């Protein structure tokens, strides 16, 4: 097999020796501990900052094999607003495309896969003993077969995870290269963080722990991936990878021991992602085959996994429509797969509610009662998981693909820059005093975060037992925040003990993203508060309440138009839960929806002036029923589940032509008296 792969080569059958792997990298001198309060724009009541905590460069095996040549330095330059070159390459190895953000980000972290990091480095270094190995030659040739064979090693479970033979005895060739690339990752973060009082841009050191357990019976590869984001420049000597341990309990313990124990100054948050592709394994309440998590396991996990990635390039993980925990607006950027293997081979799956975050929130309530700790009490962010080295490239009108050189479109025609079910992903929003590492990290740890599907919508959410005041919405932003903190708690926090006879009160505000001259933003349609609680039968119940705006405002987007004139620029509302029961736990979070606009697939087709009566490749591709643009079109109407015969727009493999961009706040939690932690 290996000989055949080497003979076949890559996409063009030509070795790609210009991988530019650094070697013998020395760490740049710089202060490791980050100051708090050093930025000129310090604001005690906190400001919203938008950034990216999940992006891959050529240091990641999969991105590299798919043609990505951008380095961590290139990714940070892109995040700061510079134009960068991207694949595919021409016959001379030069990039044929370029990309540039419409607006710079406030912060970013490069999170290359820890697995194969040393292999990528060794195979790209002509001085390495591994360089001439057949496996390295296969890697440099690239191609999908090499991609599949090499990545299959990360999908092993239940046996020792073998290193690649090219790495030599005891992995010595690849271990040295791993440390070089890890040092270069750290150096890039140091080079690009702005330590001046201007605080224009902040970087974090990070990586991805790529847990891919393989279920042989159903041929499923379960996504249990996690990003590790460090507080400052004090980090372990090497990242913990899935080859070192495929046991999450060991991963948490090792990260705790190597980073958070003692007084070194090292700290980290771990961010799981894509529960929608975990096929029931992300939110398991046991460690394995009916083996329970120990109290120590739960404590470590809760201390590390403070956030969850609710949305990214490979779909949304909030909720599933048509289930007890779902609602109509959950029908947003759902991919029709439940695991990575299905996504790879385009195998349509039956989606399950247990793979989505709302169900996990309900399980977390039960866990708090039974174990005294809630490992699913996540704050939320969003990200891109972009494999072109393009952090924050989320604009539907600028979509260039999210994985390597992109995917061919429907019918095999290269009309679309990626698989039609995938998108640009989202952004992480953080409420912090300043745009510095220490301030931002403190916000990540306390979960005062929110996620957006791309637009920069600042959403604020407070909860408490006292009224926020009849004129709260009339206050300016700074005073509104001061009152919110004084009389309640922000998103990500837990309500304290209730006052006698009191019911919880919530205050929410949001502002639309005006966008830019080239890419104007859409206005807001409505603000919702989502409440989840356990009923008398211990089942999760969910209620969605519109507290501001109107679901009909701007709901009809003019045919073949991507400009919606409906909506409002700002919303502010207070809400009291009239059905609160002091003996029932609950969670609350805010969701802000824009008026409908065009999805990226629709924009590609409209820009090409597609015609369903035409015979051009673009006409055939855009009129495929899965795009929802042909006759009868799914434009401006959702799925009618009661239709007879069945509504074609309800098919799981049909994408919505329009999209309602949105923002999600982190939840605020309520636990009854007596539910305080018992295991700590």
In a domain, 677, yes or no: no
Whether the CB-CB separation of 585 and 533 falls below 8 Å is answered with yes
Q: For 436-499, what is the HEC assignment?
A: CHHHHHHHHHHCCEEEECCCCCCEEEEEECCCCCCCHHHCCHHHHHHHHHHHCEECCCECCCCC
For residue 67, cis peptide bond before it (omega within 30 degrees of 0):
no
Are 481 and 440 found together in one domain?
no
Are 339 and 464 found together in one domain?
no
**Whole-angstrom distance, CA of residue 177 vs CA of residue 387:** 21
Cα 500 to Cα 493, 497, 504, 582, 623: the distances in Å are 21, 9, 11, 10, 61
**Whole-angstrom distance, CA of residue 510 vs CA of residue 382:** 17
For residue 88, cis peptide bond before it (omega within 30 degrees of 0):
yes
In a domain, 418, yes or no: yes
What number of other Cβ atoms are within 10 A of residue 215's Cβ? 16
Judge residue 283's burial from the number of C-beta atoms within 10 Å of its C-beta, 0-12 exposed, 13-18 middle, 19 or more buried: buried
In a domain, 675, yes or no: no
In a domain, 569, yes or no: no
Whether the CB-CB separation of 64 and 120 falls below 8 Å is answered with yes
Are 510 and 649 found together in one domain?
no
Are 306 and 346 found together in one domain?
yes
Are 113 and 173 found together in one domain?
yes
Per-residue model confidence (pLDDT) at position 194: 95
**Which of 452, 483, 499 is the endpoint of a domain?**
452
**Is residue 403 classed as helix, strand or coil in its secondary structure?**
coil
**Whole-angstrom distance, CA of residue 372 vs CA of residue 674:** 10
The C-alpha torsion from 519 through 525 and 529 to 532, rounded to 10°, is -80
**Whole-angstrom distance, CA of residue 657 vs CA of residue 635:** 6
**Whole-angstrom distance, CA of residue 353 vs CA of residue 53:** 26
Whether the CB-CB separation of 122 and 166 falls below 8 Å is answered with yes
The C-alpha torsion from 175 through 178 and 184 to 185, rounded to 10°, is -140
Give the domain range for residue 580.
459-556+575-595+664-670
How many separate domains does the chain show? 3
**Whole-angstrom distance, CA of residue 165 vs CA of residue 527:** 55
Number of residues written out for the chain: 680
Per-residue model confidence (pLDDT) at position 285: 76
Who's near 642: CB < 8 A, 6+ residues apart? none
Are 197 and 313 found together in one domain?
yes
Who's near 277: CB < 8 A, 6+ residues apart? 222, 223, 314, 315, 335, 337, 338, 339, 340, 343, 355
Q: Which of 621, 640, 628 is nearest to 598 (CA)?
A: 628
**Whole-angstrom distance, CA of residue 320 vs CA of residue 528:** 17
**Whole-angstrom distance, CA of residue 363 vs CA of residue 356:** 11
Per-residue model confidence (pLDDT) at position 409: 45
**Whole-angstrom distance, CA of residue 492 vs CA of residue 377:** 8
Are 97 and 126 found together in one domain?
yes
In a domain, 568, yes or no: no
Are 428 and 492 found together in one domain?
no
Whether the CB-CB separation of 389 and 56 falls below 8 Å is answered with yes
**Which of 429, 452, 475 is the endpoint of a domain?**
452
In a domain, 561, yes or no: no
Are 288 and 251 found together in one domain?
yes
User: Kind of pairing, strands 307-312 and 315-316?
Assistant: antiparallel
- Name the one residue in this structure whose structure tokens are 């260039």: 400
In a domain, 97, yes or no: yes
In a domain, 535, yes or no: yes
**Which of 396, 430, 452 is the endpoint of a domain?**
452
Are 264 and 397 found together in one domain?
yes
Are 518 and 393 found together in one domain?
no
Per-residue model confidence (pLDDT) at position 360: 97
Are 48 and 32 found together in one domain?
yes
Whether the CB-CB separation of 106 and 435 falls below 8 Å is answered with yes
Instruction: Chunk the chain into consecutive blocks of 10 residues (it has 680) and report each block's average pLDDT, rounded to whole numbers.
Output: 30 47 73 86 97 97 89 98 90 87 97 94 92 87 72 50 72 91 96 95 97 78 95 95 91 96 92 96 77 90 98 97 92 94 89 96 96 96 97 95 60 75 96 98 98 98 94 95 97 90 95 96 98 95 98 91 94 96 96 97 95 92 92 78 82 92 98 71
Who's near 67: CB < 8 A, 6+ residues apart? 11, 87, 88, 89, 142, 404, 405
**Is residue 76 classed as helix, strand or coil in its secondary structure?**
helix
pTM of this prediction exceeds 0.75 = yes
């Amino acid at each position: 097999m290996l000989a055949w792969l080497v003979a076949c080569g890559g996409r063009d059958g030509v070795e790609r020796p210009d991988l530019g792997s650094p070697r013998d990298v020395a760490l740049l001198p710089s202060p490791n501990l980050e100051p708090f309060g050093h930025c000129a724009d310090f604001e005690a009541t906190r400001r919203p900052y938008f950034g990216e905590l999940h992006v891959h460069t050529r240091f990641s095996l999969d991105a590299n094999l798919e043609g990505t040549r951008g380095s961590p330095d290139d990714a940070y330059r892109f995040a700061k607003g510079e134009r960068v070159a991207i694949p595919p390459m021409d016959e001379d190895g030069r990039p044929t495309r370029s990309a540039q953000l419409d607006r710079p980000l406030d912060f970013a972290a490069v999170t290359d896969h820890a697995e194969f990091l040393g292999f990528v480095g060794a195979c790209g270094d002509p001085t390495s003993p591994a360089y001439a190995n057949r496996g390295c030659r296969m890697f440099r040739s690239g191609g999908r077969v090499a991609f599949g064979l090499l990545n299959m090693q990360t999908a092993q479970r239940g046996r020792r995870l073998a290193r690649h033979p090219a790495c030599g005895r005891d992995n010595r060739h690849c271990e040295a290269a791993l440390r070089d690339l890890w040092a270069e990752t750290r150096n890039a973060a140091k080079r690009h963080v702005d330590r001046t009082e201007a605080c224009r841009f902040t970087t974090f050191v990070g990586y991805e722990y790529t847990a891919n357990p393989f279920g042989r019976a159903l041929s499923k590869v379960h996504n249990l991936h996690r990003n590790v984001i460090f507080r400052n420049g004090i980090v372990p000597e090497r990242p913990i990878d899935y080859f070192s341990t495929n046991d999450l309990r060991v991963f948490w313990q090792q990260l705790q021991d190597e980073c958070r124990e003692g007084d070194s100054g090292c700290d980290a948050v771990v961010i799981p992602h894509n529960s929608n592709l975990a096929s029931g394994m992300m939110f398991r309440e046991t460690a394995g085959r009916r083996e329970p998590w120990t109290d120590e396991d739960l404590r470590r996990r809760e201390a590390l996994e403070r956030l969850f990635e609710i949305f990214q390039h490979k779909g949304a993980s909030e909720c599933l429509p048509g289930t007890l925990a779902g609602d109509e607006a959950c029908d947003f950027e759902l991919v029709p797969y439940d695991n990575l293997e299905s996504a790879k081979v385009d195998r349509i799956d039956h989606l399950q509610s247990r793979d989505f975050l709302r169900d996990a929130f309900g399980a977390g309530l039960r866990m708090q009662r039974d174990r005294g700790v809630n490992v699913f009490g996540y704050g939320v962010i969003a990200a891109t998981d972009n494999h072109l080295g393009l952090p924050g490239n989320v604009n539907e009108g600028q979509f260039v693909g999210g994985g390597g050189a992109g995917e061919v479109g429907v019918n095999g025609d290269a009309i679309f820059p990626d698989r039609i079910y995938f998108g640009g992903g989202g952004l992480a929003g953080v409420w912090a005093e300043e745009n510095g590492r220490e301030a931002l990290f403190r916000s990540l740890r306390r979960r005062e975060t929110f996620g957006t599907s791309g637009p920069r919508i600042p959403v604020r959410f407070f909860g408490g037992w006292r009224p926020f005041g009849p004129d709260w919405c009339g206050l300016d932003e700074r005073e509104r925040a001061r009152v919110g903190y004084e009389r309640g708690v922000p998103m990500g926090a837990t309500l304290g003990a209730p006052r006698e006879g009191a019911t919880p009160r919530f205050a929410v505000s949001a502002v639309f993203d005006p966008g830019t001259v080239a890419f104007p933003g859409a206005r807001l349609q409505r603000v919702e508060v989502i409440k989840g609680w356990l009923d008398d039968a211990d089942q999760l119940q969910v209620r969605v309440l519109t507290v501001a705006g109107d679901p009909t405002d701007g709901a009809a987007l003019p045919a073949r138009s991507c400009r919606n004139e409906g909506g409002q620029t700002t919303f502010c509302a207070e809400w009291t839960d009239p059905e609160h029961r002091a003996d029932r736990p609950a969670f609350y979070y805010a969701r802000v929806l824009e008026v409908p606009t065009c999805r990226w697939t629709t924009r590609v087709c409209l820009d090409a002036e597609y015609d369903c009566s035409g015979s051009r490749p673009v006409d055939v591709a855009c009129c495929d029923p899965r795009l929802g643009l042909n006759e009868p079109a799914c434009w401006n109407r959702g799925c009618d589940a009661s239709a007879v015969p069945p509504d074609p727009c309800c098919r799981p493999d049909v994408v919505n032509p329009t999209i309602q961009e949105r923002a999600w706040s982190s939840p605020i939690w309520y636990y009854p008296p007596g539910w305080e932690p018992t295991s700590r």
